[in-house]
Amino acid sequence: MDSQQNNLYETASQPDTGTDAYTFLEFNTQGESEFDYPEFRSPVAWPTPSDSLAAAASSSSVRSAPAAASSSSSDHHHSDSQAASPVASSSVAKAAARGGHGVDGVVAGMGGLNFEETGDEDGYEFGKGDFTEHACRYCGVSNPACVVRCNVPSCRKWFCNSRGNTSGSHIVNHLVRAKHKEVCLHKDSPLGETILECYNCGCRNVFLLGFISAKTESVVVLLCREPCLNVNALKDMNWDLSQWCPLIDDRCFLQWLVKIPSEQEQLRARQISAQQINKIEELWKSNPDAALEDLEKPGVDDEPQPVALKYEDAYQYQNVFAPLIKLEADYDKMMKESQSKDNLTVRWDIGLNKKRVAYFVFPKEDNELRLVPGDELRLRYSGDAAHPAWQSVGHVIKLTAQEEVALELRASQGVPIDVNHGLSVDFVWKSTSFDRMQGAMKTFAVDETSVSGFIYHHLLGHEVENHMVRNAMPRRFGAPGLPELNASQVYAVKNVLQRPISLIQGPPGTGKTVTSAAIVYHMAKQGQGQVLVCAPSNVAVDQLAEKISATGLKVVRICAKSREAVSSPVEHLTLHYQVRHLDTSEKSELHKLQQLKDEQGELSSSDEKKYKALKRATEREISQSADVICCTCVGAGDPRLANFRFRQVLIDESTQSTEPECLIPLVLGAKQVILVGDHCQLGPVIMCKKAARAGLAQSLFERLVLLGVKPIRLQVQYRMHPALSEFPSNSFYEGTLQNGVTVNERQTTGIDFPWPVPNRPMFFYVQMGQEEISASGTSYLNRTEAANVEKIVTTFLRSGVIPSQIGVITPYEGQRAYIVNYMSRNGALRQQLYKEIEVASVDSFQGREKDYIILSCVRSNEHQVGLFCPVLLARVRISVNCLEITQ
């Protein structure tokens, strides 16, 4: 799937607009000839209601909507129709479901209905003049049977069920791109003016809705996939829940629900491309009444200047990247500030530092943005008779496997600890990272001492004569406390120490962290000052800090203040920990003030001023005494490092950083730069597609490769079973990847798993299940694959594998969330075992490993397979099981 279709996002469902909503659809199977649409006769991917109810046709009764529903649309009914209304209200449905007999009484209140295809007037050309109110806002098709209305109050636009030139229907394209989830059928459609919602709970998220047929009655029931499809009470009804099918199949509404325009209608419709759809949807965010013609106006939807391979000077560099960073910042701000969740259930606790901690569930799938420790959220309560309105800002300090968020509040006064329900949470957007990128580009342009002349011209792509750095070479290139280096690692260390700028390509499992730690050790021993070590993620920084510390160097890990309460595997190396535990008599006053602050929650203004001054002085003293400073790339812009200069800078996972992000640590005086990464793996994550198209998603590492800087590749992998390394080696690394482990070293004993080929611990398990759009509308899931993931996991567990050895990877957040819920709900073993198994997306597994990996590919359709990143197979040490894509 291309980027235009794959990176789409959603918002929460909007409130009801007052239109009658129907949840229970029933069809007169004896009168199908009255609705003689082609889709009812031709086979489709899912069974139509008529197919499902064929067996009951002879005994089905004609049921119609109640009088209330009739009156709302009676102006549009024709008395000469012989067809019964195919819609029944929720109340009638519930009576029918209970086996009630009062349904037939409403039949007399409804006349026959007749629905005519309202094609376009002769001579009318789409794209000229005004469309009817219910015409598709993309292409102009206006057949009532083919269009539906987006039911979000701020939208209320009509779209058809035609694909046109896109991979999905126009209505589904709009719902996904606008992040809307509710629809209403046209009043003149075969089903009347109907808001689609779940019969059981009233959920109106069409991406969750599907239908089942009652076993003994000629009715079709709408139910949501989560949670109602799994409610035990419904399993006692006379419904076959195993036959549940989603209303949206292959990115189109089912044809019996919303008709697909005829070939003639589509030929006469306005032709619109996926790119135009993207642009008009973006324009609607600022101008809801805009038309496609508005896209042609000057200044509308202008694309930013794309990044270049070379730049004349740092000012041109800044002029290109600054607008892209602003685009990404504006998009990030818009998305975060639009994300909120109401009606939270909260439990309260007190942390070790005496601060209040709120625990609540914030499901990932319902939100475009992922929470990470350190994020800032606002928790609020609107108040009631016994409690005044309250709100407080806090930082996320922990995320549990059950998606429970631990939020540590800044202020503990006035917290409504006796209120556990009805609270709300909002994202608090902070511009810190974007401000630091913009600041780094400005420094790069105006400060001649920010980087050396060679680095300056090399970063701009100028042709510069290469020169060697004159350093005394060590006799031995390994480092104490680290494993012995192999030949390719020794070659990398030796060359890097002699060059002013170097790229190291580290394929999965080749020991790039060990290699980086050895490089840092030797640079620190050269006596040229402190070494700055950075990475885009906190996980990567922690791993590097731990390895470097093992060599005996003094390491200080600087964390953002918002993450100081977050637990870390290198807690003892962090600056805030060392400040608190500095055991000297000179610091006794700081410790006393810190203790007083912890106990009382705040200090007097004079004590607070003294406390901050003492703390800054202590932080500076500890930082200056370090051999190596470790922080994230954005963290290098921390004010605590403002007066520091670093001649030698190493950036790990640099291929996952944007170029301006990499610039933040470099402008602190870099004269020798080492970029470590792998451009064959995941790149930077850019949320704004306009910025990504302009090139912000290209890393500095990748641009330097395009400029002709040849990366030094590490060639011996120590992670995978040799049978597993063959594919990534040949596909991505020209067959140069060698195995540092043997088959025997990766052979497991005592694990009785039925491998198809015992000496090759991998297999592809072909699935016939259909993909479905997840609740967010922006992701996918495959229920058949999820069920088989549980079976494989259970087999592993019964074979003697422990949960911590197993990882489940999927490219789609919708599938990740569904697998977690499915295993917890349907696992054959103890629920706790399944909770201990890590189920994660591809990017969150980057740089880590498990003994056994199960890969769920999810996609299964006739058009495209979407995301598939085969290099993620390299996350596994012993075995891999792929639930394969089918078409």
**pLDDT (tens digit, 9 = 90+) per residue, 58-74?**
333 323 233 333 333 33
Q: What pLDDT sits at residue 850?
A: 84
Q: What pLDDT sits at residue 777?
A: 87
> Domain tally for the chain?
4
Q: What pLDDT sits at residue 224?
A: 93
Instruction: Order across the sheet with 838-841: list the strands.
Output: 762-766, 876-884, 850-856, 806-810, 838-841
Separation of alpha carbons 730 and 725, rounded Å = 9
Indicate yes or no: pTM above 0.95.
no
Q: What pLDDT sits at residue 719?
A: 85
Residue 757: Cβ within 10 Å count: 9
**What does each C-alpha distance from 676 to 474, 507, 536 come to in angstroms?**
21, 10, 12
What mean pLDDT do residues 716-721 have?
88
878: confidence class by pLDDT, cuts 50, 70, 90:
low
Separation of alpha carbons 362 and 749, rounded Å = 41
**pLDDT (tens digit, 9 = 90+) per residue, 229-260?**
888 777 667 788 888 999 999 899 999 999 99
Whether residue 108 sits in one domain with residue 204: yes
Whether residue 449 sits in one domain with residue 359: no
What mean pLDDT do residues 744-762 have?
80
Whether residue 241 sits in one domain with residue 94: yes
Whether residue 347 sits in one domain with residue 487: no
Whether residue 104 sits in one domain with residue 34: yes
523: confidence class by pLDDT, cuts 50, 70, 90:
very high
Q: What pLDDT sits at residue 759?
A: 80
Separation of alpha carbons 339 and 136, rounded Å = 29
Q: What pLDDT sits at residue 841?
A: 81
Domain end point (choices 410, 430, 450): 430
Separation of alpha carbons 738 and 729, rounded Å = 8
687 Cβ contact partners less than 8 Å away, ≥ 6 residues apart: 7, 328, 331, 332, 335
**pLDDT (tens digit, 9 = 90+) per residue, 558-574?**
999 888 878 889 999 99
Residue 255 falls inside a structural domain: yes
Q: Give buried/exposed letters for 548-568 (b at 16+ CB in 10 A, else e).
A: bbbbebebbbbbbebbbbbeb
Q: What pLDDT sits at residue 823?
A: 94
**pLDDT (tens digit, 9 = 90+) per residue, 758-813?**
888 888 888 778 889 998 888 899 999 999 999 999 999 998 899 999 999 998 98
158-172, 412-426, 842-856: least confidently modelled range: 842-856
Separation of alpha carbons 803 and 836, rounded Å = 6
Instruction: Give SS3 for 543.
Output: helix
Q: What is the DSSP string of 350-370?
A: E-TTS-EEEEEE--STT-SSP
Whether residue 820 sits in one domain with residue 680: no
Q: What pLDDT sits at residue 584?
A: 61
Q: What pLDDT sits at residue 547?
A: 97
For residues 747 and 518, the model is more confident at 518
Q: Which domain holds residue 357?
A: 336-430
Domain end point (choices 671, 693, 714): 714
Residue 411: Cβ within 10 Å count: 14
Instruction: List Cβ<8 Å contacts ≥24 apart for 838-841.
Output: 838/401, 838/806, 838/807, 838/808, 839/807, 839/808, 839/810, 840/807, 840/808, 840/809, 840/816, 841/809, 841/810, 841/811, 841/812, 841/813, 841/816
Whether residue 827 sits in one domain with residue 707: no
Whether residue 755 sits in one domain with residue 685: no
Q: What pLDDT sits at residue 790?
A: 95
Separation of alpha carbons 627 and 367, rounded Å = 42
Burial of 529 by CB count in 10 Å (0-12 exposed, 13-18 middle, 19+ buried)?
A: middle
**pLDDT (tens digit, 9 = 90+) per residue, 163-216?**
988 889 999 999 999 989 999 999 999 999 999 999 988 999 999 999 988 766
861: confidence class by pLDDT, cuts 50, 70, 90:
low
743: confidence class by pLDDT, cuts 50, 70, 90:
confident
Torsions phi, psi of 784, nearest 5? -65, -45
52-56, 164-168, 700-704: least confidently modelled range: 52-56
Whether residue 423 sits in one domain with residue 485: no
Q: What pLDDT sits at residue 52?
A: 40
Length of the chain: 887
Copy the structure tokens of residue 488.
């390719």
What mean pLDDT do residues 632-637 have?
97
Torsions phi, psi of 636, nearest 5? -65, -15
Q: How do beta strands 712-713 and 501-505 pair? A: parallel
Q: What pLDDT sits at residue 59?
A: 34
Q: What pLDDT sits at residue 550?
A: 96
Question: Residue 631: pLDDT above 80?
Answer: yes
Residue at token pair 């209601």: 49
Burial of 18 by CB count in 10 Å (0-12 exposed, 13-18 middle, 19+ buried)?
A: exposed
Residue 78 falls inside a structural domain: yes
Copy the structure tokens of residue 861.
């359709």
**Is residue 240 within 8 Å of residue 223, measured between CB atoms?**
no
**pLDDT (tens digit, 9 = 90+) per residue, 572-585?**
999 999 988 876 65
Torsions phi, psi of 822, nearest 5? -65, -45
Measured at the alpha carbon of residue 645, what is the angle toward residues 642 and 646, in degrees to the nearest 5? Answer: 125
Q: What pLDDT sits at residue 747?
A: 75
Q: What pLDDT sits at residue 461?
A: 95
**pLDDT (tens digit, 9 = 90+) per residue, 268-313?**
999 999 989 988 998 898 889 988 888 888 766 678 999 999 999 9
**Is residue 534 within 8 Å of residue 668, measured between CB atoms?**
no
Separation of alpha carbons 438 and 634, rounded Å = 11
Whether residue 520 sits in one domain with residue 405: no
Q: How far is CA 15 from the centre of its chain?
A: 25
Residue 577 falls inside a structural domain: no
Question: Using the 8-state DSSP alphabet, how is residue 734 labeled?
Answer: T
Residue 597 falls inside a structural domain: no
Residue 41 falls inside a structural domain: yes
Domain end point (choices 271, 294, 311): 271
**pLDDT (tens digit, 9 = 90+) per residue, 11-39?**
333 333 344 443 344 333 333 333 333 33
Q: What pLDDT sits at residue 393?
A: 93
Separation of alpha carbons 521 and 479, rounded Å = 7
Instruction: Order across the sheet with 648-651: list the strands.
Output: 555-557, 628-632, 531-535, 648-651, 672-677, 501-505, 712-713
The CA-based dihedral angle spanning residues 445, 449, 452, 456, taken in that order and rounded to the nearest 10 degrees = 0
592-596, 627-631, 783-787, 805-809: least confidently modelled range: 592-596
41: confidence class by pLDDT, cuts 50, 70, 90:
very low
830: confidence class by pLDDT, cuts 50, 70, 90:
very high
Question: Using the 8-state DSSP alphabet, how is residue 694 labeled?
Answer: I
73 Cβ contact partners less than 8 Å away, ≥ 6 residues apart: 187, 192, 193
**What does each C-alpha distance from 459 to 329, 505, 662 come to in angstroms?**
24, 18, 11
Separation of alpha carbons 318 and 667, rounded Å = 14
Average pLDDT, the chain: 81
Question: Using the 8-state DSSP alphabet, how is residue 208 labeled?
Answer: T
Question: Using the 8-state DSSP alphabet, how is residue 606 labeled?
Answer: H
Q: Say which CATH number the domain at 693 has.
A: 3.40.50.300
- Percentage of the chain beyond pLDDT 70 is 79
Whether residue 804 sits in one domain with residue 829: yes
The CA-based dihedral angle spanning residues 439, 440, 445, 446, taken in that order and rounded to the nearest 10 degrees = 60
**Is residue 247 within 8 Å of residue 211, measured between CB atoms?**
yes
Whether residue 395 sits in one domain with residue 449: no
**pLDDT (tens digit, 9 = 90+) per residue, 330-367?**
999 988 887 788 888 999 998 877 789 999 987 665 55
Instruction: Give SS3 for 809.
Output: strand
865: confidence class by pLDDT, cuts 50, 70, 90:
low
Residue 830: Cβ within 10 Å count: 10
Q: What pLDDT sits at residue 632?
A: 97
